[in-house]
């Protein structure tokens, strides 16, 4: 036991001696990385995150089409109408998938004309509340894209490029336990982040409402044709009920702006930055430099020891 303790003391002493012999290498490399990490951290723009908490605002289908499916599913099938499952579709999850889709993102970017704020924003001026753009990418005074790229890319970013960039700064997640949905946006401007969250909520509600109304109108048109073609009283009763449910769907959609999501906690303009964590960047950069200096010392020591044995 004593021998083990003595060996540990000898090994630690050798390590400290080894480090002390190369102290100037350690100091030089560690200092270099420390200064570089400080410069890197200072040059990183502040990123602000705005978020909103939403609750699903789904219509209860249990007493509507779901009940009809249980009562008159057989009769409806005779008329060529499929009432579907009583469980319906999870509109919240569908809305989240639509929100993350390429089509919705492209339409969102074009509708609100945010391509320059998305792809060329560099910093934010707090005093004037204006976004400063990278002059090598976009000249705001001329509203012109000047970035230098190779084919098939063009100076103005494509919607595919914009979609990739937008996907990195937007987050829409559903809590499995509570069902609540949180939508967040990260941007160099806290005001831009807040506006984009508000626009996302408005647009996804409007998009899902429009889809539902279009589907209900098509269903109503189809059911009306089926009514004209059948004379069986029971089937006509089912079809009338279905038309009534579709009419209710259209009515609810037209009177509710928050069709899929109800805002519980709206987005606000964040006062404090979300990232970067400059202190952590400096600490990790310094530690990385210290570790790298030790590895370099051990590497050259191993080479020296190898050639000395030849």
pTM of the predicted model as reported, rounded to 2 decimal places:
0.77
Per-residue confidence (pLDDT) for residue 306, from 0 to 100 = 64
Spell out where the chain has E strands.
Answer: 48-56, 121-125, 130-133, 138-139, 144-145, 170-174, 181-187, 261-265
Give the integer Cα–Cα distance in Å for 12 and 4: 12
Looking at residue 219, what is its pLDDT?
Answer: 80
User: Closest Cα partner for 33 from 294, 288, 298?
Assistant: 288
Q: What is the C-alpha separation between 115 and 129, in angstroms, rounded? A: 18
Q: What are phi and psi of 56, to 5 degrees?
A: -60, 140
- The DSSP line for 49-95 is EEEEEEEE-----TTTHHHHHHHHHHHHHHTT-----TT---HHHHH
pLDDT at residue 96 in the model: 93
pLDDT of residue 74: 47
In the chain, how long is the greatest CA-to-CA distance? Answer: 104
The tokens for 102 are: 């390429």
In this prediction, the residues of the chain whose per-residue pLDDT falls under 50 are: 2, 5-6, 8, 10, 60-76, 78-88
Q: What is the pLDDT of residues 121-168, one digit of tens each?
A: 999 999 999 999 999 999 999 999 999 989 888 999 999 999 999 999
């Amino acid at each position: 036991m004593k021998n083990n303790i003595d060996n540990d003391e000898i090994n630690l002493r050798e390590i400290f001696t080894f480090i002390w012999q190369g102290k100037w290498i350690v100091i030089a490399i560690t200092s270099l990385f420390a200064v570089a990490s400080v410069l890197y951290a200072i040059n990183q723009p502040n990123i602000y995150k705005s978020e909103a908490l939403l609750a699903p605002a789904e219509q209860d289908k249990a007493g509507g089409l779901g009940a009809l499916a249980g009562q008159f599913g057989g009769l409806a099938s005779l008329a060529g109408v499929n009432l579907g499952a009583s469980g319906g579709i999870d509109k919240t999850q569908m809305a989240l998938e639509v929100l993350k889709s390429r089509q919705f993102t492209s339409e969102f970017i074009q509708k609100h004309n945010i391509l320059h704020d998305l792809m060329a924003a560099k910093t934010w001026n707090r005093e004037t509340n204006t976004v400063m753009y990278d002059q090598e990418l976009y000249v705001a005074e001329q509203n012109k894209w000047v970035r230098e790229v190779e084919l098939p890319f063009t100076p103005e970013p494509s919607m595919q490029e914009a979609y990739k960039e937008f996907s990195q700064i937007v987050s829409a997640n559903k809590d499995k336990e509570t069902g609540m949905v949180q939508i967040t946006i990260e941007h160099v401007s806290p005001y831009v982040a807040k506006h984009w969250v508000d626009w996302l909520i408005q647009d996804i509600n409007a998009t899902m409402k429009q889809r539902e109304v279009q589907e209900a109108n098509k269903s109503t048109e189809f059911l009306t044709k089926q009514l004209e073609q059948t004379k069986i009283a029971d089937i006509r009763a089912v079809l009338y009920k279905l038309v009534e449910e579709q009419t209710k769907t259209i009515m609810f959609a037209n009177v509710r702006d928050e069709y899929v999501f109800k805002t519980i906690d709206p987005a606000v303009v964040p006062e404090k930055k979300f990232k970067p964590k400059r202190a952590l960047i400096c600490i990790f950069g310094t530690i990385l430099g210290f570790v790298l200096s030790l590895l370099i010392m051990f590497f050259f020591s191993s080479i020296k020891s190898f050639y000395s044995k030849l």
